[in-house]
């Protein structure tokens, strides 16, 4: 999650160090072949012994970026064989601008039981290029003759016309690495912001000046800064459950072009300061220009705004209208695909098409609103040291009314006004206004995931329990509930399915309220009959008050965490059970109350039981107040769930009087 600016490297002093060279191809040593496991991580099925890469801007025609890559991997057992299925994704824009891979060389070196060493080179004819879709091709090959203990080695050259992100280098993989080294050779006519992501330290980080290395002709000449980054003993990145994007934690070097010098000597800024970006976004055809298209909505909004008086009711009407006007094509970006006009006509578009339409429509309705650029949870957290526009992948609207502001995303018709989908709740977003300078804003869930269940039950002498179950779902829970119901053909079929999932419980009648009124709680009422006991002709009966949906397993099984727990939205769950039992029985045990709280107000769990006459009341409350629990908070969180699982085993015993 850490981002550190390596800008210091860019002010160069010539160094005397001799730079490392690529290691020799296909030269193995017996020690590596004999290695049975990786000492630093005995759980590894494979380990990268050595990895070396260089990237430079060629002086050749159209000055493409040339990336040379070379890796040697030790495979301990067949579970590591997937390292031998190599895929190199390459990007393409059209027939003129595309990446290409050449000079693929690969060899498998293995040793049989008798110690005989064999080398099997890759057959060039067995390299395939798959046209994946409009923008991606996959160059694929499978390493030949792999067996337990073998070493695979391959190298290739990738040529790319895209220099904006230079070439990033992923230090940390899902298998460990002994040594990884990367040299980026950047001509002085280009200036990049360089960032180190993830938690692993660089073991080498140095720079040297290379004279006149860039000669594209036309009188242009430049020196290069040769930057060397290396890491030793990099552990594997092991993904954990409830983890936010692994990319937040994976160690890597990334680049973003900040400025470059054109042939005519003019220095063109690409990204540097927010004020530049603000201006760029404002002028951008697929961004600012779209938000200004308020005219598109003037006519359309007339019926929508009828009867609205204040700004808030106008904003709500416009939001509901845009939600209903689009079906999101699941594509995420902050730039419109082909303009909102076309998106409106087709009723579909990417996130920007929909939310820039929302902004334009709000503008047309006279509601003050700004765009908010953000990065979704799976896309990682934004580095705030300097602006990197390409880190963002989403845009939403922020409506300002008086002292209040509301964050709106119209891609999903089931979201209530002011509630962002969970995918957007990710640290901070950048508010971009057409009139004012941009600034950061918190992306917090405006509502919790909240549910309340109230059970009013009566145990009859027949052994059956009759009563009502009422559920109130708010915030994200209401959203989840509505989505679940929409997956069925009708509300009746949803209820039938619910009934079918609980063989002992029969739903006699039901009522579901506020399914379409998104700002209210979904209220479900079920009249039920539970086939609890064959009869009550016995000395004692036991009853588990948590029968409704008990937690039977702790979701947290690891002893300790390396990464934070991503809990989604803060949650609040309450269950209240009232059971009236026959006069002929009396309560034999009353389990004690349970209470447990997390430190720093992180959450709590409480369970209590009261008896009065022949009525038993059981209450349970679980609150988890954070979206993210840090690794050091994990043991307490795990223990909280532990307590819940244990408490819910409880059985109340009634004895015949």
Which positions touch other proteins (CB under 8 A)? 42-45, 77-79, 81, 84-85, 108, 120, 123, 126, 128, 130-134, 138, 140-142, 144-148, 324-327, 329, 346-348, 486-490, 493, 496, 499-501, 503-504, 540, 542, 552-554, 557-558, 589-592, 594, 642, 645-647, 649-651, 653
Closest CB to other proteins among 143 and 360?
143
Instruction: Bin 405: left if φ > 0, else alpha if -120 < ψ < 50, else beta.
Output: beta
Strand 327-328 versus strand 348-349 pairing type: parallel
At its nearest, how many Å lie between other proteins and the CB of residue 270?
31
At its nearest, how many Å lie between other proteins and the CB of residue 624?
18
Strand 540-543 versus strand 428-432 pairing type: unpaired
Closest CB to other proteins among 267 and 486?
486
Using DSSP's 3-state secondary structure scheme, residue 324 falls into helix
Closest CB to other proteins among 336 and 647?
647
At its nearest, how many Å lie between other proteins and the CB of residue 642?
6
Closest CB to other proteins among 245 and 645?
645
The alpha carbon torsion through 369, 371, 377, 381 (nearest 10 deg) reads -120
At its nearest, how many Å lie between other proteins and the CB of residue 186?
35
Closest CB to other proteins among 118 and 462?
118
At its nearest, how many Å lie between other proteins and the CB of residue 637?
14
What does the longest C-alpha to C-alpha distance in the chain come to?
A: 105
Length of the chain: 657
Closest CB to other proteins among 223 and 496?
496
Cα separation, 186 vs 208, in Å, equals 11
At its nearest, how many Å lie between other proteins and the CB of residue 592?
5
**Residue in 449, 402, 401, 408 with CA at minimum distance from that of residue 429:** 408
Closest CB to other proteins among 446 and 617?
617
**Residue in 106, 179, 97, 177 with CA at minimum distance from that of residue 139:** 106
Neighbours of 490 (CB within 10 A): 9
Sign of CA pseudo-dihedral 438, 439, 443, 444: negative
Closest CB to other proteins among 125 and 211?
125
At its nearest, how many Å lie between other proteins and the CB of residue 542?
6
Cα separation, 603 vs 628, in Å, equals 12
Q: What's the DSSP call for residue 316?
A: H
Q: How far is CA 585 from CA 261, 280, 461, 539, 615, in A?
A: 89, 77, 10, 9, 11
Closest CB to other proteins among 147 and 292?
147
At its nearest, how many Å lie between other proteins and the CB of residue 66?
27
Question: Structure tokens of 135?
Answer: 């923008």
Is 640 within 8 Å of 647 (Cβ atoms)? no
At its nearest, how many Å lie between other proteins and the CB of residue 503?
5
Neighbours of 546 (CB within 10 A): 18
Cα separation, 523 vs 511, in Å, equals 8
Cα separation, 383 vs 205, in Å, equals 21
Distance of CA 40 to the CA centre of its chain: 30
At its nearest, how many Å lie between other proteins and the CB of residue 596?
12
At its nearest, how many Å lie between other proteins and the CB of residue 82?
10
Using DSSP's 3-state secondary structure scheme, residue 70 falls into strand
Closest CB to other proteins among 310 and 651?
651
Closest CB to other proteins among 44 and 230?
44
Closest CB to other proteins among 138 and 423?
138
Question: Structure tokens of 127?
Answer: 């390299």
Exposed/middle/buried for residue 10 (C-beta within 10 Å: 0-12, 13-18, 19+): middle
Question: Structure tokens of 641?
Answer: 């769930």
């Amino acid at each position: 999650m850490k981002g550190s600016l390596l800008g210091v490297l860019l002010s160069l002093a010539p160094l005397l160090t001799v730079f490392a060279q690529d290691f020799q191809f296909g030269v193995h040593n017996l020690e590596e072949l004999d290695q049975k496991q990786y000492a630093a991580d005995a759980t590894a099925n494979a380990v990268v012994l050595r990895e070396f890469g260089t990237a430079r801007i060629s002086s050749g025609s159209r000055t493409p970026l040339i990336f040379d890559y070379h890796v040697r991997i030790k495979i301990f057992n067949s579970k590591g064989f997937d390292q031998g299925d190599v895929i190199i994704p390459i990007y393409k824009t059209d027939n003129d601008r595309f990446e290409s891979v050449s000079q693929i060389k690969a060899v498998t070196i293995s040793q049989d039981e008798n110690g005989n060493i064999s080398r099997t080179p890759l057959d060039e004819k067995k390299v395939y290029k798959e046209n994946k879709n409009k923008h991606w091709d996959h160059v694929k090959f499978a390493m030949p003759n792999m067996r337990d203990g073998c070493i695979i080695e391959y190298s290739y050259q990738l040529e790319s016309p895209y220099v904006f992100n230079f070439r990033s280098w992923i230090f940390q993989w899902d298998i460990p690495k002994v040594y990884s080294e990367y040299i980026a050779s950047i001509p002085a006519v280009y200036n990049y912001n360089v960032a180190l992501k993830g938690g692993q330290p660089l073991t080498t980080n140095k720079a040297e000046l290379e004279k006149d290395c860039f000669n594209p002709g036309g009188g242009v000449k430049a020196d290069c800064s040769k930057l060397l980054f290396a890491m030793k003993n990099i552990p594997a990145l092991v993904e954990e459950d409830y983890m936010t994007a692994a990319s937040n934690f994976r160690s890597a070097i990334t680049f973003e072009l900040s400025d470059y010098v054109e042939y005519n000597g003019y220095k063109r800024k690409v990204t540097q300061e927010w004020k530049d970006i603000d201006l760029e976004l404002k002028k951008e055809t697929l961004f600012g220009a779209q938000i200004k298209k308020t005219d598109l909505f003037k006519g359309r909004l007339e019926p929508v705004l009828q009867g609205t008086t204040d700004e808030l009711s106008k904003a709500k009407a416009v939001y509901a209208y845009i939600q209903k006007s689009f079906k999101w094509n699941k594509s995420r970006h902050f730039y419109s695909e082909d303009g909102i006009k076309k998106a409106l006509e087709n009723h579909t578009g990417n996130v920007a098409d929909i939310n820039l339409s929302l902004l334009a429509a709000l503008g047309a309705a006279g509601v003050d609103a700004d765009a908010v650029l953000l990065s979704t949870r799976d896309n990682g957290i934004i580095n705030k040291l300097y602006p990197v526009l390409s880190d963002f992948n989403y845009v939403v609207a922020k409506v300002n009314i008086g002292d209040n502001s509301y964050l709106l995303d119209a891609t999903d018709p089931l979201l209530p006004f002011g509630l962002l989908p969970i995918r957007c709740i990710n640290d901070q977003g950048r508010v971009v206004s057409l009139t004012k300078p941009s600034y950061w804003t918190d992306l917090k869930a405006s509502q919790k995931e909240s549910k309340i269940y109230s059970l009013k039950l009566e145990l009859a002498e027949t052994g059956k329990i009759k009563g009502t179950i009422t559920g109130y779902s708010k915030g994200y829970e209401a959203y989840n509930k509505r989505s679940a119901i929409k997956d069925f053909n009708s509300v009746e079929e949803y209820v039938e399915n619910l009934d079918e999932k609980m063989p002992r419980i029969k739903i006699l009648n039901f009522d579901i309220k506020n399914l379409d009124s998104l700002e209210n709680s979904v209220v479900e009422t079920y009249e039920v009959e539970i086939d609890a006991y064959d009869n009550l002709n016995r000395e004692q009966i036991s009853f588990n008050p948590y029968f409704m949906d008990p937690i039977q397993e702790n979701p947290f099984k690891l002893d300790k965490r390396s990464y934070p727990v991503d809990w989604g939205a803060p949650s609040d769950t309450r269950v209240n059970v009232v059971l009236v039992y026959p006069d002929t029985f009396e309560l034999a045990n009353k389990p004690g109350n349970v209470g447990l709280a997390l430190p720093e107000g992180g959450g709590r769990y409480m369970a209590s039981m009261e008896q009065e006459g022949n009525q038993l009341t059981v209450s349970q409350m679980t609150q988890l107040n954070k979206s993210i629990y840090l690794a050091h908070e994990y043991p307490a969180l795990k223990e909280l769930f532990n307590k819940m699982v244990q408490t819910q085993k409880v059985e109340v015993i009634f004895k015949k009087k």
